[in-house]
Amino acid sequence: MARKDAFLFWGGYFVLAFAATTPDFHFYAQAGLTSWVFTFAYLYWYMEGKKSVALPILNRFYRKIAQMEMTNLESYYAENIESRVRNLMANAKSQI
């Protein structure tokens, strides 16, 4: 859907921009360019943009996930460090 709308927008924009350079219909095309861009900007905001702007509503969920990740990091920190040190020691021993 978004690709079709983008093709429609750019196609219409270029047609109006080309018509704006012709001597017969340039007044209509020049007036139409601004309204064309405004209409598509408004429709994009109304149809698609509000989906990405509304994401901060999930802040509580993101905070909970971050809290769980930090709890796991704190719980398994010593085990992770020990595993990392063992891997590095094995690598160092293999190089000797």
pLDDT one-digit tens code per residue, 37-82: 888 888 777 777 666 655 556 778 888 999 999 999 898 988 989 9
**Whole-angstrom distance, CA of residue 87 vs CA of residue 96:** 14
More reliable by pLDDT, 17 or 67:
67
Residue 19 CB contacts under 8 Å (≥ 6 apart), including other chains: 25, 26, 28, 29
Domain residue ranges of the chain, discontinuous segments joined by +: 1-53, 56-96
pLDDT of residue 14: 87
pLDDT of residue 60: 83
Check if the beta carbon of residue 15 is closer than 8 Å to that of residue 5: no
Q: State pTM to two decimals.
A: 0.38
Q: For a pLDDT cut of 90, what percent of the chain falls above it?
A: 23
